[in-house]
Amino acid sequence: VVDLSHVIREGVVTLPGVPAPVITPHLTREDSRRAYAAGTEFAMDVITLPGNTGTYLDSPWHRYAAGADLAGLELASLIDLPTEVFHLTDLSSRAIPAEVFWDRDVRGKAVLLHTGWDRHFGTPDYAAAPPYLSPAGVEYLADQGVLLVGIDAINIDDMVPGGERPAHTTFLGAGIHVVEHL
């Protein structure tokens, strides 16, 4: 098992315009000492955060009102997947083209896109001109029958204002899982 998730910290902005996580104490160790036997203490915090904070999985419900939410996904569709990792740190454009996938068998696999953009996570640069999967790349991967597509950037789609979201629309509509912020 390789953990590719970012640590969620208080105040880290994952998406510009979306609130940062807030972590506040509910029960401090000092307060717990008054409620429990000698030598027994606990700490418990309250965490408030938007669903798209840190590394996350988009369910079909994220895009489609009638789609399954996270609780409706089959665990077996998310774990122990054969995986192809594409190291794309030398791309000449922001859009990841379909051609990068042509020489590998991706059918029935998770496809992870390593662009190196994760080095900007938690900084203002993270939202500035990040890489994304081109519409042709989306179509190719969907046609090949991938099970999951993950990217180490802020969004798998180009985040132009008012823009379409072909990866979210196509993948989530076909039951292909999307993971962002790897």
- Residue 168 contacts residue 62 (beta carbons within 8 Å): yes
Single pTM value for the model? 0.89
pLDDT at 1 over 80: no
Q: Which long-range contacts (CB under 8 A, 24 or more apart) does 53-56 make?
A: 53/8, 53/12, 53/14, 53/18, 53/21, 54/5, 54/6, 54/7, 54/8, 54/12, 54/14, 54/181, 55/4, 55/5, 55/6, 55/179, 55/180, 55/181, 55/182, 56/179, 56/180, 56/181
Tokens of 55: 């590394």
d(CA 48, CA 87): 34
d(CA 99, CA 80): 26
Task: Identify the band that residue 3 occupies on the pLDDT scale cut at 50, 70 and 90.
Answer: confident
Burial of 90 (0-12, 13-18, 19+ CB in 10 A): exposed
- Highest mean pLDDT out of 37-41, 44-48, 101-105: 101-105
Mean pLDDT of 122-142: 95
**Strand blocks (E) in the chain:** 22-27, 44-48, 56-58, 83-87, 95-96, 110-114, 132-133, 148-151, 177-180
pLDDT on residue 113:
98
Task: Identify the band that residue 70 occupies on the pLDDT scale cut at 50, 70 and 90.
Answer: very high
Mean pLDDT of 141-163: 94
Task: Identify the band that residue 87 occupies on the pLDDT scale cut at 50, 70 and 90.
Answer: very high
Mean pLDDT of 100-109: 98
